[in-house]
Structure 1
Amino acid sequence: MALRYPDIKVDIWALNDPGKHYAYPDRISGLINQDELASYARAARGITASGADMIWIQHEFGIFGGRAGDYILSLIGRMKVPVAVALHTVLAEPDPD
């Protein structure tokens, strides 16, 4: 996207699996630890401090922490800018959670 739209600044926040460490490239703006609710709050503060005009979340079932992945809702709830979500899988019969 940066090549096509050089005037747009894109920050990328990586989601870490529990107990895993990855060699992320330098362009990663921050890390969210999947099973740490406080990590989502830190990310929300970091995103807000960046001056983001919007947030684009890449959603896949099972990647976010909390019951049925509800930790991501704590991050979204702290945002004062529009949030877009790309749903990579839509379940025909989702769990009630």
Structure 2
Amino acid sequence: MTSLFQILMLVLGVARTVIFIHFIMSWLISFGVLNIRQPIVAQIWEGLSRLLEPIYGPIRRMLPQMAGIDLSPIVALLGIYALEIILRNNAGFFM
């Protein structure tokens, strides 16, 4: 059961990293550092957006409109941290 706990923590860590990469990439695109017309940038951006849309979509529907500010990555990260806390506090269940 310890391996199940470690796998769950790994999945949450990977999800957190992907959200951070998507968040930073969106800022770099907004400020013109990355050009979305470059094929590799467009592929990475589209892939990350498709990967994260099932997470962001329900969060965006629950949050009110914030005049162009997307808070769904922050809410998703808070949810991941909450899951990590719950898993760590209940780690004895996996032992």
Give the TM-score, by structure 1 length: 0.24
More helix by share: 2
Report 1 or 2 for greater relative contact order, CA contacts < 8 Å, sequence distance ≥ 6: 2
Name the one with the larger strand percent.
Answer: 1
